[in-house]
Structure 1
Amino acid sequence: MWLKYGVALSGELTGIDEVVRGKTNLACLYCGGSLTAKKGSVKEHHFAHTGDTCKPVSQRIKTKAFPSLPLYEHFNIELKGEELEQLKVLWKEYGAQKRSIPKDLVNFRWQLKGLVESEGDRSYEFTDLGKIPVGGLPLALFNSYQFRLHRNDILKELTG
């Protein structure tokens, strides 16, 4: 499990690829602790807690009503590096500007994964899920989206 996002003072999600190695001004999504960017040559780049970790929180008794941390791991977006870079460009040029994405710029796999949705015959827009890998989803919406996903998982388990 690697922590790929931290929260900036502005409340926006910031990805590991957007910061330099070392201590940051970012906070953990779950406990609010300070984060350090780990960007070595052996392990995958990730954030680590500068001080105490969320570990005591994740070690709570796990029941069906209390999923373990980190919940964001369950998004299963699984993008190739090239696809992620293309999404970031589209986000900067279209999504962040609140402009529709022309159909000819959209990869069909992104639509299948639920990252973009049709806004008519000729254009697309980012979904909340699609905003996550580009760091475009504000923390409040990130938490709301995450809550809905896990509420649905819990309801499925409870109803059979």
Structure 2
Amino acid sequence: MWLKYGVNKEGILICIEDITRGKTSLKCPYCNGGLTAKKGKVKEHHFAHNDQTCRPIANREFPTLPLYDNFNIQLSNKDLTQLKLLWQEYGAKNYPISSYLVIPGLLKAGMLRKNVYIKPLEYEFSDLGKVPVGALELTLFNDVQSPLLLKKRLLLELALKHAEYKNAPDLAYRLTDLKLYRAQLQRILSSSLYFLEIETNIGTLYKILYCLPLIFLNWARTCR
């Protein structure tokens, strides 16, 4: 997981995409250490500590938006490989999946669901399970993602309340987790996704652009 937000002097969370690369005046939201914006061409854009990386960043995961940055939904390599095989052999052909082919990790992650109309018991792909294999229609994507976004926020809020009740040593971390998640959620709610279909001499290309309104306006002017 990469740290995507730093805190400015006013205590406001600033996204890595809103600043230039190099050393910044921003601080780590967990330890208040100085940060450098890493914005190269190989790794994801992220903040790195000027000194030693703090424990909350190094030893634990901080919250990210479900399905937004990672479409494999945190499946293990084994589960993801099995899911792709099942799609090729069964899902893409609308064939039912026998229960002996289903591994527990896929059921726990909600990738497959029971088909109650077929006896004996067999399974089929859920809408969520179609996401990692690129088979979910774009019009249905928000129906899948929105409940996951709200569920994740609720879990973070409950974790914070529990830490407050217990006066737990990680109380400050839990509060920061929730602040980071809310900042990410607010950012995508104030932005737009644009679907482009581009005809080329080698075929049709599809691309989804994530843009803040002003950024997209400037981009559109440049393309004219």
Superposition TM-score, scaled by structure 2 size: 0.35
Higher helix share: 2
Of structures 1 and 2, the one scoring higher in RCO (CA 8 A, sep 6+) is 1
